[in-house]
Structure 1
Amino acid sequence: MPARPDFLTNSMIIGAHPDDEMLWFNAIVGKVDKVVIVFRDFWAAPRLGPARAAAMAALPLRDVTCLNIAEPGSYGCADWQNPVLTDYGMRLGPEETRREVTRLAKRALGKVSPLSPVTSPERVDQTYRDNFTRICDALAPMLAPDMNVFTHNPWGEYGHEDHVQVFRALDHLRRKIGFTLWMSNYCTERSLPLAMRYLRCDPAPYVRLPTDKALAEAIADVYRAHDCWTWTDDWAWFDDECYIEAPRGEAGGNQNRLMPLNFFSGETAPRKPLPLKTSSALILSALAGAALAELW
């Protein structure tokens, strides 16, 4: 059996959503000491949180913990052609307003109770902003200077605003605590404009490892069995993954490089759509109801 790589000593994967731990860290998910998942509940799909909790409890991994932070519903809300980074993640655009209308409509129509713990009391953008502090506060006690921490890359793999936020939270904690922060090499055409900002003229050396396709399928089967698998069903695992110490800030420039990428077409392999569409007539009615409800 091959020796365990040194960079897996005192190691932890921190993934945004359940199944991120095996989609983007396939080669090491069965070797790290601990897996931490950030988000669980999601206001647009009330049954998703309990299903995820049951699935995580059944994963064939040694130590899995969830922070149980609620997803804001930020995916697709940023401008990925001209991404704007913020201290808390990314600036959200006009799509966030439509998403907020959907959230209010679902509350007014009774699709999700306003008192439910999975219903955000604040709009999508505010929840996204506040989650940065929630993530930092929850993770800080778990981290130490001698740890190897693996998380999402700065462009969020295929371009997910939550992934970028988790990276930026850990980058912030790295500066305070001093652990080594690692990332893997997935990218799509959607996230490429942001990824290009992190190229270096002298990048750190990277580690290439073969993926564990059998374990990945076993984990995926657990999520499928609990009806909370959110990735495409025909996903084909890459043969290997590259890991590199996460860059500290943006760089960019001509003739720069980073590491080989596991590049795939993100638009044909998005997370399965969750119920976010509402008709315009229904929206107007729901907004009126929501406005009245907020007064009581």
Structure 2
Amino acid sequence: MPARPDFLTNSMIIGAHPDDEMLWFNAIVGKVDKVVIVFRDFWAAPRLGPARAAAMAALPLRDVTCLNVAEPGTYGCADWQNPVLTDYGMRLGPEETRREVTRLAKRALGKVSPLSPVTSPERVAQTYRDNFTRICDALAPMLTPDMNVFTHNPWGEYGHEDHVQIFRALDHLRRRIGFTLWMSNYCTERSLPLAMRYLRSDPAPYVRLPTDKALAEAIADVYRAHDCWTWTDDWAWFDDECYIEAPRGEAGGNQNRLMPLNFFSGETAPRKPLPLKTSSALILSALAGAALAELW
């Protein structure tokens, strides 16, 4: 039996949403010591949180924990052609305002769970900002200097604002605690402008591993069975993945490089649409009530 690679000793995957642990860390998800998922509930889909909880409890993995942080609903809110990073993640643009109108309308129409913490009066951008502290506070006690931690890359794989936030939270904790932070190699045309900033003239060595397609399908089937699979149904697993120690800050420049990328077309393989849209008539009829509700 081959020896366990050193970089999987005392190892942990930290993924944003349920299924991220196997989409971007396919080669190691069955080998790490622990998997941590950050988000569970989502205000736009009240039934999603309980379904995710049931699915995570049924995953064929050795140790899975969820931080139960509320998902803010930021996907697609940043300007990915000219991305602006912040201490807590990314700067959100006009789409965040439209998303907030949807949240208020759904809340006024009773289409979010009244028992869920995601019905707080915080707007989408504020929840996103506050989540950075929540995530850091929840993860810090779980991390030690001798750990190998695997998480989203700085550009969020296909360009997801939550993924970028998770990376930036762990990069912050790495400076404080001193663990080794690893990332994998997925990228799309959407996230490429941000990925280009992290190229190096002397990148660290990378590790290439074959993916475990059978385990990935088994995990995907659990999410499908619990009706909380949010990725495309016709996704084709890559044959291998590359892992590299996450760069410390941006660099960029001519003739720079990082590692081989698993590059795919993100616009043809998005997450399944969740109920973020509300008809104009319903929004108009609900906004007055929503605004009043925010005052109480």
What percentage of aligned pairs have identical amino acids? 98
Q: Distance in 2 between matches of 1:57 and 1:123?
A: 30
In structure 2, the gaps of 5 or more residues are none
Q: Distance in 1 between matches of 2:93 and 2:172?
A: 24
Cα deviation 1:38-94 (Å, max 9, x = unaligned):
000000000000000000000000000000000000000000000000000000000
Q: Distance in 1 between matches of 2:183 and 2:113?
A: 38
Displacement, 1:113?
Answer: 4.3
Which stretch of the first structure deviates more once superposed, 111-120 or 88-97?
111-120
Q: Is the 8 A contact 2:154 2:195 kept in 1?
A: yes
Displaced runs of 4 or more, over 4 A: none
Displacement, 1:294?
Answer: 2.5
TM-score normalised by length of structure 1: 0.98
Q: Is the 8 A contact 1:188 1:265 kept in 2?
A: yes
Displacement, 1:257?
Answer: 0.1
Displacement, 1:16?
Answer: 0.3
Cα deviation 1:266-291 (Å, max 9, x = unaligned):
00000000111122232222110111
Q: Is the 8 A contact 2:187 2:264 kept in 1?
A: yes
Which stretch of the first structure deviates more once superposed, 115-124 or 94-103?
115-124
| Count of residues paired in the alignment | 296
Cα deviation 1:114-172 (Å, max 9, x = unaligned):
55323242100000000000000000000000000000000000000000000000000
Q: Distance in 2 between matches of 1:50 and 1:176?
A: 34
Q: Distance in 2 between matches of 1:295 and 1:120?
A: 13
Cα deviation 1:165-212 (Å, max 9, x = unaligned):
000000000000000000000000000000000000000000000000
Q: Secondary structure at the match of 1:200?
A: coil
Q: Is the alpha carbon distance of 1:32 and 1:115 closer, same or farther for their aligned partners in structure 2, counting shifts above 3 Å?
A: closer
Q: Distance in 1 between matches of 2:159 and 2:2?
A: 34
Q: Distance in 2 between matches of 1:203 and 1:258?
A: 5
Which stretch of the first structure deviates more once superposed, 112-121 or 176-185?
112-121
Q: Distance in 1 between matches of 2:278 and 2:226?
A: 27
Q: Is the 8 A contact 1:42 1:119 kept in 2?
A: no
Displacement, 1:229?
Answer: 0.4
Q: Is the alpha carbon distance of 1:115 and 1:65 closer, same or farther for their aligned partners in structure 2, counting shifts above 3 Å?
A: closer
TM-score normalised by length of structure 2: 0.98
Residue 102 (structure 1) aligned with residue 99 (structure 2): no
Q: Is the 8 A contact 2:72 2:128 kept in 1?
A: yes
Q: Distance in 1 between matches of 2:136 and 2:159?
A: 21
Q: Distance in 2 between matches of 1:27 and 1:294?
A: 46
- Equivalent residue number for residue 135 of structure 1: 135
Q: Distance in 1 between matches of 2:108 and 2:26?
A: 41
Q: Secondary structure at the match of 1:118?
A: helix
Q: Distance in 1 between matches of 2:204 and 2:112?
A: 47
In structure 1, the gaps of 5 or more residues are none
Q: Distance in 1 between matches of 2:94 and 2:214?
A: 41
Q: Is the 8 A contact 2:121 2:294 kept in 1?
A: no
Q: Is the 8 A contact 1:46 1:118 kept in 2?
A: no
Q: Distance in 2 between matches of 1:187 and 1:44?
A: 27
Q: Distance in 2 between matches of 1:112 and 1:233?
A: 27
Q: Is the 8 A contact 2:14 2:149 kept in 1?
A: yes
Q: Is the alpha carbon distance of 1:162 and 1:106 closer, same or farther for their aligned partners in structure 2, counting shifts above 3 Å?
A: same
Q: Is the 8 A contact 1:72 1:120 kept in 2?
A: no
